[in-house]
Structure 1
Amino acid sequence: MGLPVPAPASDGDRERVAELLQRACGEGRLTLEEFSVRVGAVWAAETDVELARATDGLAPQPIVGSATTVDKIVTVFSSATRRGRWRLRDGGVRVKTVFGSTVLDLRAVLTGSDVIEITGSSWFGDLTVIVPEGVEVDFSGTNAFSSRDLKLAPVPRVPGTPEVRITVSTWFSSMSVVSRPPEITR
């Protein structure tokens, strides 16, 4: 007797698994980067076996105490870096940088929102936002005597990932948004 033949994956099956992964991300069981990688695999899956692999190892409960909730980052005459597991309050963060440097790495951020909003200002500072590849970014705000740089990898948007909306006003500052490949080593 041969092995069972995998069943083809339907769009409805893909949608159900993508929603499960989005809930897991919102509950803190997956980072945004892990979610992006897994949901990409969901939409590429051709069989039920490939769909099941997208949820392999998914923790049954949120990891307690692994993430700090952040809604505001103020940097004055100093530097601040937000990396690793951290949670956005209400899907957004307000940033203010004055004579300083701020780095926000969203690859391990925990959120269940469809949109991540970053708002604020930078005066005589540097602000860098790092997003996982395949995430859509909308970048706007006043730009006076400043430089802005948007460097996203030429890859298709990963379905189901949140849109990142950045509305930051810059004066005598440098602002960059870059995408980086996943650091997941599973």
Structure 2
Amino acid sequence: MSLTDYLLNAVLVLLVVRQIRGSRLDLVNLVLPLAITVGVGFSYLHSIPTAGNDLVLIGGLAALGVALGVGAAATTRLNLGKDGVPFARAGVTAAALWVVGIGLRMAFAFASTHGMGPSIGRFSVQHSITPQAWVAALVLMALGEVVSRMLVLRIRGHRLTSNARRAQLAQAA
């Protein structure tokens, strides 16, 4: 892993701290994680290889990322702020799921450059996986985690806001 990779992962871990502190589900909190993720995607994802079992690996890790993101969003507490904007605060489970995703990617990257590279290479040859598939799979895992978390939180936030509006209208009637 390069210094840039470590710094990028540190930024993602800092997002966990921000989630634990809590934040409004406003435009800034939608754009920041998506901008980071899109930037990573453009930097690392140049193609999606389809040889051998590449798509199996890519699909599996992307699905794992989506599952981690949905789990993190589902275990995040949402409250309606006084201004009517939903406020999200990640609990221990949500933060742990986020860290698991980052940790798995970092552990793989570290292992591949610190002694496990030949083993990963042999595994890849035995299972018809190209080196480019590992890159695509890990990047799509991260994308799946971020996008699914954001999407589920936005849906939950919209429902919370809609239910509060209905309750206000019912009280006014």
TM over 0.5: no
Q: Give TM-score, length-normalised by structure 1.
A: 0.24
Structure that is richer in helix per residue: 2
Q: Give TM-score, length-normalised by structure 2.
A: 0.26
Structure that is richer in strand per residue: 1
